[in-house]
Amino acid sequence: MTLREMLHKDFGIDLPIAGGWGQSADDPIVLTSQDPDEAALVQLEIARRIYGAQGWYWRQIERTSAGVIETDVEKFSSEVKYVEGDQIVTEKRNLYFDLSSVIVADEAHLENPSVPVGPPAELNFPRQIGWFHFDGLTNNEPEHPGLGVSIAYSAPKAKMMIYAYDKGLSDQISDRPDESASVEYAQAIADFRSMNPEARPAREHEQGGVRLTIFESGQILSVVLVSPFRDFFFKLRLTLDDRTEQFMVDCAMHTLSNFVSMVGTSNQTKH
């Protein structure tokens, strides 16, 4: 059975690949698409099926040449974390891809794919934020003007939803971002508590215009975050089902830190 056949059998996906299993430079997965954007998405999809399906936390960390002379083999490296017995294993894993069919730029490496986010954000979001990976995007504007878009991410036993919206208050948000965000944050916290009355706040944090509260309820850890960004709001809701697994908590906190660095005041210059 080939890797393509296995992925189709186990996950119902049919990817444009051929060749080997990608465990070494001598047996690379051949990307048969000429489109570099599609090829980069295929790489992420394969990594997600191989690592994520095992319940591992993983994040892509680099793309480099495999160093095989007269070939177009790329080494796709990821950091993975998983439980083995009573130990948390952290290691680097590599997948090898043959790019000879892909039309790539001079640097001969694929670029990390992004997600185009429509109004009001008009940004390209990464498909990976920290240890969480993109699941889908919903445009709420046609049925609920002012509610923008919802962007879903997940990791094992965890989900994260990011909302970008302006409630029709773009001028107010742009003119008085701190005041507007303070009101929106209070509303977000009130909404969360009304639906989760048993949750207790464990920590609050404010940095660069970003406000967040971490809640605990039994084994569940939840985060509510609000930040103004240019002339709209970002709201984030993260839920981790098992806060007793410290490495999962660490990965969630690392992901939050990445998001805060994306939306903090230092990154809000208009383009």
Query: If you write DSSP's letter for every residue of 24-88 in order, what string do you get?
Result: STTSPEEE--S-HHHHHHHHHHHHIIIIITTT-EEEEEEEEE---TT--EEEEEEEEEEEETTEE
| pLDDT given at position 108 | 62
What pTM was computed for the model? 0.91
Radius of gyration for the chain, computed over Cα atoms and rounded to the nearest angstrom: 21
Indicate whether 245 belongs to any domain: yes
pLDDT of residue 271: 39
pLDDT at 268: 54
**Domain boundary residue among 64, 98, 132?**
98
Task: Check whether residue 88 and residue 24 sit in a common domain.
Answer: yes
Among residues 51, 66, 60, the alpha carbon closest in space to that of 100 is found at: 66
Answer yes or no: do 189 and 86 share one domain: no
Q: What is the residue range of 206's domain? A: 114-267
pLDDT in tens, 228-238: 998 999 999 99
For residue 105, being part of any structural domain is answered with no
Tell me what pLDDT residue 107 has: 58
Residues 68 and 121 in one domain: no
- Residues (pLDDT < 70) of the chain are 69-70, 106-108, 265-271
Dist CA 13 CA 260 (whole Å): 34
84 with 119, same domain: the answer is no
Residues 198 and 80 both lie in one domain: no
pLDDT score, position 185: 95
Q: 123 with 185, same domain?
A: yes
Which two three-digit tokens encode residue 151?
Answer: 């962007």
Would you state the pLDDT for residue 170? 87
For the chain, how many structural domains are there in total? 2
- How is residue 267 written in tokens? 């990154």
16 near 42, Cβ under 8 Å?
A: yes
State how far the alpha carbon of 160 is from the alpha carbons of 24, 130, 131, 135, 252, in Å.
33, 11, 11, 10, 9
Dihedral angle over CA of 55, 61, 67, 70, nearest 10: 90
Domain assignment present for residue 104? The answer is: no
In a domain, 108, yes or no: no
Please tell me the distance from the alpha carbon of residue 33 to that of residue 102, in angstroms, as a whole number: 6
CB atoms within 10 A of CB 6: 12
Whether 98 contacts 71, CB under 8 Å: yes
Please answer whether residues 3 and 22 qualify as being in contact, where contact means their C-beta atoms are separated by less than 8 angstroms: yes
Residue 178 lies in a domain: yes
| 253 & 160 share domain | yes
